[in-house]
Amino acid sequence: MSTELDHLKKQVARQQAAYDACDPGSLPTMRRMLAEAWLPEVGLLLERVQRDVVELSVEHPPAVGMRQAWSRYYQVFTALGPIATGVRDDATPDERKAAAARGLRSVANRLMLVMIFLTAQLVAAVFLISFMLSLFSTFNPQTALSGEQLEARKLVQTHVQRIEQIVDREARIAAQQQPAPAASATAPTNSSPTAPHDNPNVAAVRGEIEGLAQEKVITRRK
């Protein structure tokens, strides 16, 4: 058996001891849940490395298998590094558990930060999707105006407002200059208007009456 394989076995045993010393029960609720979800994944990687070590326990282990085993061990070492670095080989069981608890708390804090970051990204994505939907729900590309058209519309609107102000000012001036109606004006009545007539000629009427009187006198004498 090669020296490299012996060294790999020692390192795997050290990582296994650090993994066995982990106890997420002392962590807060949210961090404990994250640690309990993370530890099984690390345990699965550790079992694969141990299986590779067993398969390589021959007189001349293949180089390809050794590279594969070291690659998987690197994954385990990266995951358990904050825990395994604080666990000493000559430490008592209580010291080992205390060191593993500190390392596991550090890992849980990192997982908490990752979860907060992912949650913030999810909330931002939902907000952006809602904003885009509300924006394009009232947007019609066929009736949308270009920048030049909007500028022309603004100029026309300004010109129309100026004309309206001029017309209103002239109307107020004309209303102030108009004379008030006469106070002696008679109110309209419901009676029908009288027909116009000429004044009678008194001299002509008197002449006709005198002529008729003379004719009667002459007639009586006859």
Residue 204: in which H helix or E strand, if any? helix 202-221
- Residue that is written with structure tokens 């067993």 in the block: 54
Residues 101, 26: contact at Cβ < 8 Å? yes
The tally of CA atoms less than 13 A away on the side-chain side of residue 4 is 12
The three-state secondary structure class of 192 is coil
Q: What does each of the 222 residues of the chain score in pLDDT, given as a tens digit?
A: 578 888 888 989 888 888 988 888 888 889 999 999 999 999 999 999 999 888 888 777 888 888 898 999 999 988 888 888 887 777 787 888 888 888 899 999 999 999 999 999 999 999 999 988 887 776 665 566 666 777 777 888 887 888 888 888 888 888 887 765 554 445 455 554 554 445 455 556 556 666 655 565 455 555
Residue-level pLDDT at 62: 85
Express each pLDDT in 168-207 by its tens digit.
Answer: 888 888 888 776 555 444 545 555 455 444 545 555 655 6
Token pair in block for residue 77 = 């070492």
pTM of the full structure: 0.54
Residue-level pLDDT at 201: 52
Residue-level pLDDT at 195: 47
Residue-level pLDDT at 203: 56
Q: Which of 80, 63, 78 is nearest to 2 (CA)?
A: 63
